[in-house]
Structure 1
């Protein structure tokens, strides 16, 4: 797994040592000797992880970390503080500055590489989400980095899996000061509990009496509903081998017993902030996808989606020997509505028209705004007689009830013309069906509007 690692330390010997260790594992290594240089490199280079010393002359590592995490352009880069400071208060200070982990010198090669690999996997996943969501900024959606920077990581839902009363009776009250906490003392039920509970963080003791805590962590990573749930493992100090194994299978962070109260809260806040950030990214991706295929005004699918999906529906109908009907709908005299009542009134008509379309079709039917005041409805498993009945019912629903416009101050009459065609033989191009429906629509308009016309091949 290749990644670009920035090593920041003012002691050349420390830099060379870390550079050699990481290069031996085929990581690409950049170096900086002070905080200002590190910030400049991060501003101009793509770094995947930063290994950051604390004791530096111009700007200490805590301040560098705070600046990185408060900048939307670098907020998402994992920062590991690597320092000789080893007191719980130092670790908490680093975590509160935004660090993703805190390693005490001298750091063993195995621990260092395991942590870097674990954070690299998470960074690559986040990068993929960020790339997919990047267009959300162009369409006016909020950048998730800004809300992530403001997020304090409190008010989360935490599931603590621990079967020792002496342990969970101490940990749960500490966590409850900032979060809603559920305790699961039966590890066999924990996975179901986690899947159903909409949690922000799963904390697992690796010292369970009759259950393998690592197996529970692995199962949580393999289950779709808990795959993205952050996992914080709590282990005895002499359990390094199991902790390293946990990082390999997807544990996000860990604590060693005896657990420091403030460090527990700081690490929980860090993981919950990350969870919310990645959830926001995923929401942006989903919203971007929906906006790309949806007409913003009516909420129906747009022409791009129809053109890509129509061929699939036609192929399915042909291969199964089933009918497929297609109708094009056009609002009569729509230009005069805009000219007489204003474009806002025209938008009101289009929105209400989309609502009535939805009420008149089935769940398997595809309704799209084709452009302007034209709409297309594709009806699988539907022959010409049934499609004609649906089209006539829709026509009547439009003509039979006036449309409210201009915030309900006026009501106007609206009618539509509909052209209808069906897929008549197996090898017919779907574009020909659409063209025949358009010809039928033209006849409906020519013959007086407010009517349904179907056309044969």
Structure 2
């Protein structure tokens, strides 16, 4: 994939070298020779990835990174710190300043392209989620934008596959102070455990003695449960061709032997943090989807969902010649409940009614809140007579026991009126069935409420 990359370095030779390497891989490149210039470019045109030199006069890379990460508009831009410093404290300082990754000079071409591509993919995901978040705000959903989400790369749960005892011991010692490390020798066992182990990262040796590490990576990438699990490979010098294959199949990162413990720990923290962040974004997306189709008060599906799903159920029933019924439910004298006991009590009544609905219908039935005190239940494979019996059971369940509602936990007697209609004629449509159910509901209310009336059309 391509992306817009900003290179920040006060040395012209370094700028030109990195620019040439990235342009050769079809990245769009901008350059800045100082921290101040970089901040100005980011304010005007947000890049997808920033390569940021640490040692610069005036404002060093650590300060630039901190400023970018503290600004809401630029805090989601991935930053790679490029440094000649290799002391453990320097690597940790880069991460603590907000950097997403780091490269040590002289920069290896494969490492450069790998880091930039991986971070560009992350930025693409982040941009999409932020766009969705902006839409959520416009639609009145709780905002994700600007949230202070405390996500760290510490205390990760790491699965390591290494069949050489000495190498495994050194890796565990490097990571165990900051992570829960599960070491396995057999890749087949790891393949069974990984989907259910709630791991943040898989570390696998590319040159296992008795198995193919790439095979394990490809198998995990093909499983739904582990498709998004970050994978880090440990690679011997000279294995660049196999490393390329691993990166092509979706491996996220790698370290070369002999493994530098500080670099390994820093890269593990980065992958764990990134995984938790993407999990958070994915969770927010799932919540947004739920909010779009669920009624927030009762957790039943809403009118929007009914409109689309009823059409599908109707078409399936009509094509197969199977019955389909609709039950409309309206709480009797709901305004009196609100006026007498308060709107909080009214909300409690609606929530409890939704619970009683769920307990008395099948899993294949669709229960929705249309709005206010009106509900609908769509029942596939159910004729008018059976639907009437379901309605009568629901009516009795609602009327049988008082509803506990309001701050005072008062017992409120509640009844409901119901109208039933079914798919009966060739010219029927979902709208016509709902209209007939509504007419039957009107008859139930007209005839005294607390009753079920079947469509007689």
Is the TM value for this pair above 0.5?
yes
Cα distance in 2 between the residues matched to 1:126 and 1:221: 21
Gaps of 5+ in 2: none
Cα distance in 2 between the residues matched to 1:258 and 1:89: 20
1:49 is displaced (CA, Å) by 1.0
Cα distance in 1 between the residues matched to 2:59 and 2:340: 67
Which has the larger displacement, 429-438 or 71-80?
71-80
What is the DSSP-based 3-state SS (H/G/I as helix, E as strand, rest coil) of the residue aligned with 2:419? strand
Is 1:364 the counterpart of 2:354? The answer is no
- Counterpart in 2 of 1:401? 401
| Alignment check: 8 A CA contact 2:91 2:266 kept | no
| Alignment check: 8 A CA contact 2:130 2:145 kept | no
Which has the larger displacement, 240-249 or 218-227?
240-249
| Alignment check: 8 A CA contact 1:39 1:68 kept | yes
Cα distance in 2 between the residues matched to 1:286 and 1:101: 28
| Alignment check: 8 A CA contact 2:329 2:417 kept | yes
1:408 is displaced (CA, Å) by 5.0
Match among 123, 145, 148 for residue 146 of structure 1: 148
- Counterpart in 2 of 1:199? 199
Cα distance in 1 between the residues matched to 2:435 and 2:190: 58
1:108 is displaced (CA, Å) by 4.6
What is the DSSP-based 3-state SS (H/G/I as helix, E as strand, rest coil) of the residue aligned with 2:376? strand
Which has the larger displacement, 54-63 or 437-446?
54-63
| Alignment check: 8 A CA contact 2:151 2:277 kept | no
What is the DSSP-based 3-state SS (H/G/I as helix, E as strand, rest coil) of the residue aligned with 2:2? coil
Cα distance in 1 between the residues matched to 2:52 and 2:413: 70
1:5-27 alpha-carbon deviations (Å, 9 max, x no partner): 11111123332333333233332
- Counterpart in 1 of 2:57? 57
Cα distance in 1 between the residues matched to 2:189 and 2:273: 26
| Alignment check: 8 A CA contact 1:111 1:244 kept | no
1:307 is displaced (CA, Å) by 0.9
| Alignment check: 8 A CA contact 2:356 2:397 kept | yes
Task: Indicate how the Cα distance of structure 1 residues 144 and 364 shifts in structure 2: closer, same or farther if over 3 A, else same.
Answer: farther
Cα distance in 2 between the residues matched to 1:302 and 1:361: 17
After the TM superposition, which residues 10-25 of structure 1 pair with which residues of structure 2 at under 5 Å, given as runs?
A: 10-25=10-25
| Alignment check: 8 A CA contact 1:300 1:368 kept | yes
Cα distance in 1 between the residues matched to 2:453 and 2:353: 20
Cα distance in 2 between the residues matched to 1:108 and 1:213: 23
Cα distance in 2 between the residues matched to 1:26 and 1:266: 29
Cα distance in 2 between the residues matched to 1:217 and 1:324: 48
Task: Indicate how the Cα distance of structure 1 residues 92 and 414 shifts in structure 2: closer, same or farther if over 3 A, else same.
Answer: closer
Which has the larger displacement, 334-343 or 210-219?
210-219
Which has the larger displacement, 138-147 or 286-295?
138-147
1:363-411 alpha-carbon deviations (Å, 9 max, x no partner): 0011111111111110000001110000001011111111112235311
Task: Indicate how the Cα distance of structure 1 residues 24 and 174 shifts in structure 2: closer, same or farther if over 3 A, else same.
Answer: closer
1:74 is displaced (CA, Å) by 2.9
1:248 is displaced (CA, Å) by 2.4
- Counterpart in 2 of 1:328? 328
1:173 is displaced (CA, Å) by 2.9
Cα distance in 2 between the residues matched to 1:308 and 1:41: 46
1:215 is displaced (CA, Å) by 2.3
- Counterpart in 1 of 2:410? 410
1:298-357 alpha-carbon deviations (Å, 9 max, x no partner): 111111111111111100110110000001111111111111111111111111111111
Gaps of 5+ in 1: none
1:444 is displaced (CA, Å) by 0.8
- Counterpart in 1 of 2:189? 189
Cα distance in 2 between the residues matched to 1:165 and 1:108: 29
- Counterpart in 2 of 1:180? 180
| Alignment check: 8 A CA contact 1:331 1:374 kept | yes
1:400-446 alpha-carbon deviations (Å, 9 max, x no partner): 11111223531121111101100112441110000010111111111
Cα distance in 1 between the residues matched to 2:76 and 2:211: 35
Give the TM-score normalised by the residue count of structure 1.
0.93
What is the DSSP-based 3-state SS (H/G/I as helix, E as strand, rest coil) of the residue aligned with 1:204? strand
| Alignment check: 8 A CA contact 2:133 2:144 kept | no
- Counterpart in 2 of 1:156? 156
For the aligned residue pairs, the C-alpha RMSD in angstroms reads: 2.1
1:195-221 alpha-carbon deviations (Å, 9 max, x no partner): 121101111111211222222222222
- Counterpart in 1 of 2:248? 248
Is 1:420 the counterpart of 2:420? The answer is yes
1:72 is displaced (CA, Å) by 4.5
| Alignment check: 8 A CA contact 1:145 1:277 kept | no
